Amino acid sequence: MAIVADTYTYVVGVDTHAATHHYAIVETRSGGQITHGKFPTHAAGLLRAVDWISRRTSVDDNPAVDQVLISMEGTGSYGAQAAELLAARGYRVVDAPSPKRARGSGKNDHIDALVAARGALPKDSERLADRRAGHTRAALQILLTARDSMRRDRTRSKNQLTALLRTHNLDIDARKGINKVHISLIAGWRKRPTDTTLARIARTEAHRLATRIHTLDADLDSNEKAINALVRELEPTLLDLPGLGPINAAIVLAVWSHPGRIHDEAGFAKIGGVCPLEISSGNSKDHRLNRTGDRQLNSALNSIANTRMRHDETTKAYVKKRKQQGQTKPRIRRCLKRYIARQIFRHLNTTTLDKT
């Protein structure tokens, strides 16, 4: 195990925001701050920041790219452009470790950048999560973000429509909720001249919500087709694994990103929040759920596990065996999610090596 402090000469912590990024350069041996600076996020500002880092970390007036680690917050959001530019210059860019703040300590952009830099010093340099790379994977992330927004919008519109139908008598029985048949019926409503003002407004709003749901359904279908096409372009064999459809496969690929970003299956399981945490004490030995990590990936692994428990014969046999051993269903599901994370990581690494 080689920690960052023994591998690099400098660590640059970056706190990213919409308008500006704050940079703090730390000398790894002492942990002391060399300097810090703030730069705007437009193209010229990013170039100035990269040149500033190069000057401040040079050795004998020569850039020492291989001796500098960039520990950046938000490499997939506000820091995406800066991360891509720094990587193009040869710097290694990693996701900043989650900060551990002392109670009552202060906070500002400079401090956050310093925390991002110093937080990386004791970490195993091989276990740091490199930034996500690849334009196709970035496109996948755009589609997944859009899909999440559309699903939330659809759920909100459906809940509003259900509440409206339960509040006002519009000749639709919504006591047990509404389905696609109800939504299609309401979307086809026309204005009725005999309606009272209240009925007219209620029917108009119900029609608007139903039409909105129809539009979102069409958009979600188009989104899924686009995601499916990208997944088949990147890793079509991933869809051969039991329980993996295009959406869950896309989530996995967006997190995994590329060979070397996550160095082993334990790291992948940790990112997915499926590595149980030990809570043993005295004669009691047990584990609890890990509620950290990428919750979207955790949800995908949970969905895959549930699908296998219902439809995969091998998984059904495993569940039956563990139940006979006295294990509870939640504990069995946790074991399955950990196994699935291991299987997916090994599959991705194997297929990638086969292509090279």
Indicate the pTM of the whole model: 0.73
Tens of pLDDT, residue by residue over 172-196, are 999 999 999 999 999 999 988 888 9
How sure is the predictor about 106, in pLDDT bands with cuts at 50, 70 and 90? low
Q: How far apart are CA 21 and CA 27, in angstroms?
A: 20
| Helix (H) or strand (E) segment spanning residue 330 | helix 329-355
Q: What mean pLDDT value characterizes the chain? A: 90
- Residue 2 has a pLDDT of 86
pLDDT in tens, 107-135: 899 999 999 999 999 998 887 878 876 67
pLDDT at 131: 81
Q: Give residue 356's pLDDT band: very low, low, confident or very high (50, 70, 90).
A: very low
Q: Is the pLDDT of residue 212 over 90?
A: yes
Residue-wise pLDDT for 315-336, tens only, equals 999 999 999 999 999 889 999 9
Picking from 71, 43, 66, the residue whose alpha carbon sits closest to that of residue 54 is: 66
Tell whether the torsion through CA atoms of 316, 321, 324 and 327 is positive or negative: negative
Scored b (16 or more CB within 10 A) or e, 41-77 reads beeebbeebbebbbebbeeeeebeeeebbbbbbbbbe
Q: What is the DSSP string of 118-186?
A: HTTTTSBTTTS-BPP--HHHHHHHHHHHHHHHHHHHHHHHHHHHHHHHHHS--S---TT---HHHHHHH
Average pLDDT over residues 301-308: 96
Residue 279: which pLDDT band, with cuts at 50, 70 and 90?
confident
- What per-residue confidence (pLDDT) applies to 31? 92
Using a pLDDT cut of 70, give the percent of the chain over it.
96
- The pLDDT of residue 17: 95
| Residue 216: band (very low, low, confident or very high) from pLDDT cuts 50, 70, 90 | very high
What's the pLDDT band for 1 if we cut at 50, 70, 90? low
The Cα 26–Cα 193 span in angstroms is 74
- 168 pLDDT band (50/70/90 cuts)? very high
pLDDT tens digits, one per residue of 50-87: 999 999 998 777 778 999 999 999 888 899 999 999 99
